Amino acid sequence: MNYGAWKKESQRDFWAKALLELGRERKDIVVLSADLSTSVKTSVFAKEFPERHFNVGIAEQNMMSIAAGFAASGKTVFASTFAAFGTGRVYDQIRQSIAYPEMNVKIVATHAGITVGGDGATHQIVEDIALMRALPNMTVVVPADAPETYLAIRAVADYIGPVYLRMGRADVPTIASIQDDFKLGKATVLRDGDDVTLIGTGVMVSRCLVAADELTKEGIDARVLNMSTIKPLDREALIKAARDTGAVVTAEEHSVTVGMGAAVAMDLAENAHVPMKRVGIPDVFGESGDSDELMEKYGLTAENIIEATHDVMRRKGGAL
Partner 1 sequence: MPKHSRELIGKLEHEALKIRRRLVRMIYQAGSGHPGGSLSATDVIAALYFHVLNVDPKDPSWVDRDRFVLSKGHACPAWYAALAERGFFPIEELDTLRKTGSRLQGHPDMRKTPGVEASTGSEGQGLSNGIGMALAAKLDRRSYRIYVMVGDGENDCGQTWEAAMSASFYKLDNLCAIVDRNLMQLDGPTKHIMSLEPLADKWKAFGWKVLEIDGHNFAEILKAFDKAESVKGKPTVIIARTLKGKGVSFMEGAVAFHGKAPNEEEYEQAMTELGGEP
* Residue 68 binds partner 1, judged by CB under 8 A: yes
- Which is closer to partner 1, CB of 56 or CB of 276? 56
Of 8-67, binders to partner 1 (CB under 8 A) are 30, 51-52, 54, 56-57, 59, 61-62, 64-67
- Which is closer to partner 1, CB of 28 or CB of 213? 28
In the complex, the smallest distance separating the C-beta of residue 298 from partner 1, rounded to whole angstroms, is 34
- Which is closer to partner 1, CB of 97 or CB of 139? 97
Among 1, 72, 121, 239, binds partner 1 (CB under 8 A): 72
Show which residues are catalytic. Answer: 60
Among 2, 4, 5, 74, binds partner 1 (CB under 8 A): 74
Of 96-125, binders to partner 1 (CB under 8 A) are 96-97, 100-102
In the complex, the smallest distance separating the C-beta of residue 88 from partner 1, rounded to whole angstroms, is 16
Strand ranges of the sheet holding 188-191, from the earlier edge strand across to the other edge: 188-191, 222-226, 196-200, 248-255, 276-281
Residues that bind partner 1 (CB under 8 A): 30, 51-52, 54, 56-57, 59, 61-62, 64-75, 92-93, 95-97, 100-102
